[in-house]
Amino acid sequence: MTMRMRWLVAIVMAGTGILSCVAEAEVAGKWVAEISSPVLLEPVYARVSLERTGDTLSGTWGSEIVKGAVKGSMVTLTLSDAEGRDDGTVTGKIENDAGEGSGTVMGLGRRPGGFAGGSGGRAPVPQAMMWKLTRELVPPAKPREIN
């Protein structure tokens, strides 16, 4: 292999590595979710924390436990409660410091105590929802004063 061919191969391999890094969405971190739905009078918000190991995601969405997968910028998240009961699935796209998608979650918009605040309310039903994620901003550290 000539020196010119070696350089060409090195440049192509370096370019491939750069493109694969650019194509991967950085979904790990702390987020704020804005959730809207036809059953809600106004959007609700939840803190979301995601950890990534390879193509697998885990973390929390409000009080829900999250398990999911990421492929490029596309994410699929399964939500469950503390007892492990399925509470819904959301899918969407996360790029840079924002994401959006849709899904179905259990009991969205229900108030504690059942129908009209009384006891014996109906069981939660799946509700369609839309979501937007915004990266949680961490305030800059205050500079230390030198005396």
Q: Which residues of 74-85 are buried (b: 16+ CB within 10 A; e: fewer)?
A: ebbbbbbeeeee
The pLDDT, as a whole number, for residue 133 is 95
Note the pLDDT tens digit of each residue in 10-60.
565 555 444 444 445 689 999 999 999 998 999 999 999 999 999 999 999
Contact criterion met (CB below 8 Å) for 40 and 57: no
**DSSP line for 94-113:** EETTEEEEEEEEETTTPPTT
- CATH of region 25-135, choose from 3.40.50.720, 2.40.128.120, 3.20.20.480, 2.40.160.20: 2.40.128.120
